[in-house]
Structure 1
């Protein structure tokens, strides 16, 4: 069973294939197990993640919806970015993306004064009274 999804953040549209197994438990109650690539997963309507941007704000369409609306599948699925690996050169004609280091600098800019203030207060509270006795 193929489920179509759309990311409400980046508007990426994709499909995922699921296999549904209907089983009976020991009490005779019917249950469903959803499989994706042979691995048990949550049902498609709960907790899907966009392969393009990683957002969890995703909606799903009825099965077969994309077959009736092929214009939604205009762009191919994006290649997921590697988590770790060697740096690669960008394809010809594309500018290299430079990652901003502002968060690290911001943490240093805020962290150093806070650490100095806390250190001084600890010194004033602990060491200064002991020196006066």
Structure 2
């Protein structure tokens, strides 16, 4: 088929971007593709995909996680992964530091630094919650 692809007439090229989330390890990423539509010598249409200038298999047929190599990958419209990352960054809360607790013996925290960052431990279900259909 590569010979046919090389000799096929000029077709149309479409730019598409997808967001991917691995159901195994929770890794998320986005990738843009150029989808080249061709017509072979017999008049049949076929497509080829390129990403970053290299020919790649269809991202919709069997996506592979870039982190763990798993194949259980959710495909979403572009922008989904970056919006979740922004949501996760915003979820890190600046908690004000309290003073010493009255009635419990112990050293006062007079020289302690300003606000303490409290980080939430996220799970895969937390990442996918915004995509849940109601």
Class of the TM-score when normalised by the shorter of the 2 chains? 0.3 to 0.5
Tell me the TM-score normalized by structure 1. Answer: 0.47
Please tell me whether Structure 1 or Structure 2 has the larger radius of gyration of its CA atoms: 1
Give the structure with the higher percent strand: 2
Tell me the TM-score normalized by structure 2. Answer: 0.47
